[in-house]
Amino acid sequence: MSIKSILVTGASRGIGHAIAEKLSKDGHSLYMICKKNTNLMSDIPGRCFTGDVADHDFIREVFSGIPRIDVLINNAGISYTGLLQDMTKEEWDKVISVNLSSIYNTCHFASAMMVRQHSGKIINISSVWGEHGASMEVAYSASKGGVNAFTKALARELAPSGIQVNAISCGFIDTDMNNIYSEEERSLIMEDIPSGRFGEAAEVADLVSLLIDAPSYLTGQIIGLDGGWML
């Protein structure tokens, strides 16, 4: 395994933090973006940038301080639960900006670097709701559906330059984001998962690690990690 220069967004908690921990243990050189709580990253060697991934100017500044990127991992995301009719335009815009527009921001700069290198991998963290849709999570589902389409389209665009673009479609991963569910709701969800449990952030991190070293012929794929939930 060769040592790579990797950028991880949303690295301060949950899946993003688990990814950063795993890749650090693998020996890679890390750059991390956190909206806040950068003190949580003190245990992970690397450079941490504090700011909003949805802010194009901020992402431009981040990339101006990075000489090379071999792997980009777009993990930053937020959720909104509630009826669409109760959702404000500002709340809609925020979900789409953080979950989807941020991927444009990072890929805009990373892809240019990778094309010059004629190599690179982009891994987007998506959700089963991007494929199937979830009641009360219309904005989140729409944003992740956009991530999936973005992944497939960009994979076609960058394949001639030796760059792979894939996404991980996560099922119910037991993180703070999913603490909005009551114990009764969690029990009902678990009943529908053939594996009989929720996923762990470390398992997403393990799959990211595998994709970093996956064959270059693997591109444009939405890879499910859901315990058989959405087969």
The residues carrying an active-site annotation are 140
Tokens of 74: 């777009």
- Phi first, then psi, for residue 9 (nearest 5°) are -95, 155
Q: At what angle do helices 89-96 and 138-158 cross, to 10 degrees?
A: 30
Give the strand order in the sheet containing 120-127. Answer: 47-50, 29-34, 5-9, 71-74, 120-127, 163-170, 222-225
* C-alpha to C-alpha distance for 163 and 158, rounded to whole angstroms: 5
* C-alpha to C-alpha distance for 126 and 141, rounded to whole angstroms: 10
**Exposure of 209 by Cβ count < 10 A (0-12 exposed, 13-18 middle, 19+ buried)?**
middle
In Å, what is the CA distance from 26 to each residue of 4, 173, 210, 226?
A: 10, 22, 11, 24
In Å, what is the CA distance from 183 to each residue of 34, 72, 122, 142, 178?
A: 30, 35, 36, 26, 11
**Of 24, 65, 28, 62, nearest in space to 43 by CA:** 24
